[in-house]
């Protein structure tokens, strides 16, 4: 499990959002920004992927 600080800045969700905008991010990255931090044993990116997997692919889709 890599910490967010270990990921190159260009690949970090928040930095990617600031540089490229929301359309350049995956649902997982957008959720990671909203969550802000992970939990013990999972960085924020892994946590967001787990949440999306649990609630299904339409979890963050607007109606």
Q: Where are the domains of the chain?
A: 4-55
- pTM of the complete model: 0.79
Residue 20: which residues within 8 A CB-CB, separation 6 or more? none
Of residues 27 and 57, the one with the higher pLDDT is 27
What distances in angstroms separate CA 59 from CA 2, 28, 62, one per listed residue? Answer: 25, 10, 9
Q: Is the pLDDT of residue 53 over 70?
A: yes
Alpha-carbon torsion (26, 29, 30, 31), positive or negative: positive
Of the two residues 1 and 56, the one the predictor is more confident about is: 56
pLDDT tens, residue by residue, 26-42: 888 999 999 999 999 89
pLDDT of residue 11: 82
pLDDT (0 to 100) of residue 63 = 59
């Amino acid at each position: 499990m890599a910490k967010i600080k270990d990921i190159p800045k260009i690949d970090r969700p928040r930095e990617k959002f600031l540089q490229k905008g929301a359309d350049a991010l995956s649902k997982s990255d957008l959720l990671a920004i909203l969550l802000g931090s992970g939990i013990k044993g999972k960085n924020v990116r892994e946590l967001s992927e787990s949440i999306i997997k649990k609630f299904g692919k339409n979890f963050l889709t607007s109606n």
